[in-house]
Amino acid sequence: MATFDGLSRLGVTIERDGESTRVTGFGKLRKPSEPISCKESGTTLRFMTAVCSTIPHEVEISGGSSLLKRPVKDLADALQVLGAACTTNGGYPPVHVKGPLKGGAVTIPGGISSQYVSALMLAAPLAEKPVEIVISGRLQSRSYVEMTLHMQDMFGVRSEWTDDLTHFKITGGAYSPSLVRIEGDWSSAAFLLAAAATAGEKIRVSGLHDETLQADRCLLDVIDKMNGHLSQDSGSVVVEKSELKPIEVDVSDCPDLFPVICAMSAVVDGVSRIEGIRRLRIKESNRVLAMTKGLDQMGIKTEESEDFIIINGDRPKRATIDPQNDHRIAMAFATLGLCTDEVTILDAECVSKSYPSFWSDLESLGAEVMVH
């Protein structure tokens, strides 16, 4: 919704009919009459900043309170190198950006956010000259960049890149119209699948394609390694309640799974180790802090370092959890709450950021959900 609103302010026409959306561009984006609010969407912030760098007018991009804490400095610096004027509030929103984007070569770190790389790729075809993007260090969340390349290809943009995704070259050219079918969301489904493995009997979630670039499909590998019972057939996944075992897992390339893996690890008999958590401190909340604090409230002991966390599984206790206005934290503790007498989630409506029907879906599966 934040992206729809931002694009509409740039002169794009968006028509919705049921589950279909028709987006009509007119070949040239206009100057918005007022600042663009990205609400609480970090993805929208990064993508809209890059898109607006192609407009020869200054645009202000801002958002809600948690979004103002999301870093955007590396992207702003990269856009400056490519010829746009882009300033931030000490590396954070609000962002002021003005095109045109001239092009050239730029280096950007791969260990902060793949959204920076995808944002530059989205704007690059509209630059005056070809754009070369070099990634310094290891590119994390690689699959999200692969999704961007795939989607650009569907819209007629041709790019060159190295196999390790550390060097990209995008030549100028227009995007062509396309018909796209959006896959079901593995990231949202993860909470229901974890709930089935820890507290359910058997749950089938439909609309999940196995042949996908979505990183969070690897939750199935995690559940399997934890001795969970699952099966797949023609776009659906079935998970049954299982006696889960501890796990050692690296979430560098699937950081959105961190909260739900923490929830599963909290109920196993043994010690689990989750690595690759450094970037999780700059998401919608400090997710490492939010999860360790909440787990402690539920009687689950944790040990934390800069890039890993150790969770000592136990029987979680009743608690009241503040998810820090973070949808994934709220859903993770709701999942864990199914293994307790009761858990109270404050500001529970924050799940609407990515999964508005989460509470009603959970209730339809037999959970007791009480709204205060």
Please list the active-site residues.
Answer: 256
Structure tokens at 178: 């396309």
Considering only CA atoms, which of 189, 229, 226, 178 is closest in space to residue 24?
178
Strand blocks (E) in 18-166: 20-24, 36-37, 59-62, 85-89, 92-98, 104-109, 131-136, 159-161
- Side chain identity, residue 146: E
Give the ranges where the chain is alpha helix by DSSP (H).
Answer: 2-9, 42-52, 73-81, 114-123, 142-154, 186-199, 219-225, 258-265, 287-297, 327-337, 358-364
Site of tokens 């023609």:
234
Cα–Cα distance, 265 to 13 (Å, whole number): 45
Tokens at residue 151, please? 């989607």
CA atoms within 13 A on the CB side of 107: 3
- 271 with 311: CB under 8 angstroms? yes
